[in-house]
A and B are shown apart, each in its own frame.
Chain A
Amino acid sequence: MTTPIQAQSPSHAHSHAGGHNLTGMVIFLCSESVIFLAFFAGYAVFKLSAPQWLPAGVEGLEVRTPLINTIILVSSSFVAWFAEIQLQRGRLWAFRGLWLLTMAMGSYFLLGQALEWQGLAFSLSDGVFGGCFYLLTGFHGLHVLTGVLLMALMLARSFRAGNYEGGEAGVASVSLFWHFVDVIWILLFLLIYVWR
């Protein structure tokens, strides 16, 4: 892809910009995973050392609805992947449709989480459990929201004529971010809902 001629062109600072984007995103996600790791480690320490983990009057978390949410979020990763393939094949409308579907699934997840928060019997200040639950799910939710907004940006960009003909590194980066958010959710789900 990179011939010597291209490397000599005046805009060589910009011609690799796509590749830079992906590298930058990978580096950023490595760093971002550490903050989740820190939260997970804190959660594990708290849970293992707490004499009484659940606040008084709280039985535990309902798992069924969050599980449905989880399945939708995780499948959205595959939809995003198919969308990316469509873009590589130059089928712009198929890409837009699948991309929009990914966004819709992400938004459904956020909505489901908001509804779950509303129905809970404990609050942020109910012991370390309450704090951890809202902090972890909220921090992750913020990432989902960011992902949906970034996807909206990529979708809008696709309407600029000729924008996605040369490369789609922006889409690849956002897609990577989305997969990251999903993997983090799986770990979070295991830690919070499955680990008793």
Chain B
Amino acid sequence: MSSSASITPPLRPASHPLPGAPDNWRRFFTFNTDAKVIGIQYIVLALFYLLVGGLLAMVIRGELLTPESDLVDPSVYNGLYTMHGTVMLFLFLFPILNGLNNLLIPPMIGAPDMAFPKLNALAFWLFPLFGTLLMLSFFLPGGPSSSGWWAYPPVSTQNPLGHFINGQFVWIVAVALSGVSSILGAVNFVTTILRMRAPGMGWFRMPIFCWTALAAQIIQLVGLPVLTGGAVMLLFDLSFGTSFFQPEGGGDPMLYQHFFWFYSHPAVYVMVLPVFGIFSELFPVYARKPLFGYPLVALASFAITGLSLIVWVHHMFYSGTPQWMRHLFMFSTMLIAVPTGIKVFAWIATLWRGRLRLTTAMLFCLGGLVNFIFAGITGVMLATVPVDIHVGNTYFVVGHFHYVIFNTITFGVYAAIYHWFPKFTGRLLYEGLGKLHFVLTFVGSTLNFLPMHWAGLMGMPRRVASYDPEFALANVLASLGAFLLGVATIPFLLNLVSSWVRGEKAGPNPWNAIGLEWLLPSPPPLENFEDDVPTVLNAPYGYGLDRPLVADEERYVQRSQRA
């Protein structure tokens, strides 16, 4: 292990256990500080909660199959949609994106690990803790929280059974713990990106995924504390007799809405920005062209971060917001279409006349892009005050944000899994099962979420267990789509497990991609490049261009193949 000054260091034998390989699975159940182990821990546990959240969704859709409330009690129904939203956001999407950050950021920038490995492990282990807490709230006497994932007072400060530990109490504690975990994660990711980049990797040589991860984590740092502040005050109102949000005690329920949305609107960008990063990484690989307008795409991420912090009131257009405020926030919300538009056109320009390879990862990216354009259009509609007053709190909104959260973000996450699974496990996923997964997911999600827009425009309110029979067709279609999405997870999980155990060996660079992580063996060794970090010479995505990414590239390629 000497720090050799010679030009070609000797090949390092695989002395470390290979992170990502299924051998030694026990380490996934320990306080392991290796970012790659933590990444896989996050992803696997998040996929478990995807199934939980999906199961809740299917019960909801089962209830909505008929106009009458006949499958579950309406009060149970309130708990179901509250927990569905909470699980999908706090136990599926945030953690799985943190998992991808952990796996991808250190190798992409040539760092051996995260800046604070112990803090990283601590942030992860909070996740099973608050996940389990939230699950246990199902077994409390009054059931889980039933106030919707917004937890607006005064609904969320009701405690009819009078127990100190009730569903809402546990919900707030779990969300607060999730916030602590996310802040610890954000401090870690930002420090890592700021300080641990490979020599020569200036800002405009950094992969877009890292740009977007940085932009997203800054939102976490600025926004989450506000939500935490609001949640603490809500907890005091609920459990300790204060009246911050109780008008009868001089408080102001609107203040909670401001606190909540100041974070929870940007939270969407926390989730969607890394997916923009994934699109920006994958389109060049599978179109064999450099990313169009790379510096602009990078900077647009930060424009989104900035703007995302000044749009939150568009969730409150119908909450007695004064007219001047509505205009201001309508304007700022529409401005976000500019940087996102820049990105969309950059991706389309990247695809234009490219040699497209329709792998599963590429299909999910293309599907996600199409869905995102649709979600963007309905998003601009919703930003318009008159439209929002009309369709706010209807299924139009539900359809819109599922097009963002599922049809864009989850599609992007799936694409990332299909693209980088070989890198971190050393095995290829089966393309046949992958394409089956894509087709089922695309058909299922379209069937599920597209008719919701229609039902919403006709006036079907959200969060109801029974509805007028005129909405029946849209709801039957949506329910069928939801069940199809449930079926779609079967080939996906089958693919993950069977490929991990006995899939075809991937080799270091199965997609012929350009990037530091592809110069490492698959799976990468414990500390990635260790003390032999390549010097970055050029901007990423040099597809079809005669320019090396790093100095002495051939040596790294050969080394990754020999390992």
Contacts and interface: CB of A to CB of B under 8 A. Distances in A.
Given A10-B3, A27-B190, A39-B229, A128 B116 contact: no
Among the interface residues A9, A38, A45, A51, which one has the most CB atoms of the partner chain B within 10 A? A38
Contacts of B194: 23
Interface stretch (B142-150, B218-226, B460-468): B218-226
Interface stretch (A28-36, A80-88, A161-169, A180-188): A28-36
Contacts of B558: none
Nearest to A31: B221
B241 to A, nearest CB: 4
Given A39-B229, A127-B243, A10 B250 contact: no
B249 A127 contact: yes
B530 A10 contact: yes
A19 interface: yes
A131 B225 contact: no
Contacts of B240: 124-125
Interface in B166-199: 183, 186-188, 190-191, 194-196, 199
B241 A125 contact: yes
A128 B244 contact: yes
Interface in B1-30: 1, 3, 5
Interface in B244-277: 244, 249-252, 255, 259, 262
Given A10-B1, A16-B195, A24 B226 contact: no
B255 A45 contact: yes
B516 to A, nearest CB: 16
Given A24-B187, A127-B243, A8 B3 contact: yes
Interface of B is mostly: helix
Given A20-B116, A42-B255, A127-B250, A35 B225 contact: yes
A66 interface: no
Contact of B183 (A8, A31, A38, A132): A31
A34 B244 contact: no
A125 B243 contact: yes
Interface stretch (B230-238, B289-297, B414-422, B438-446): B230-238
Given A31-B222, A50-B250, 20 more contacts: A7-B199, A10-B1, A20-B195, A24-B115, A24-B191, A27-B186, A28-B183, A34-B221, A34-B222, A38-B229, A38-B230, A38-B262, A42-B244, A42-B259, A128-B242, A128-B249, A131-B233, A131-B236, A131-B243, A135-B236
15 contacts: A5-B3, A8-B5, A9-B3, A24-B116, A24-B191, A38-B229, A42-B233, A45-B255, A46-B250, A51-B250, A52-B250, A125-B242, A128-B250, A135-B233, A135-B242
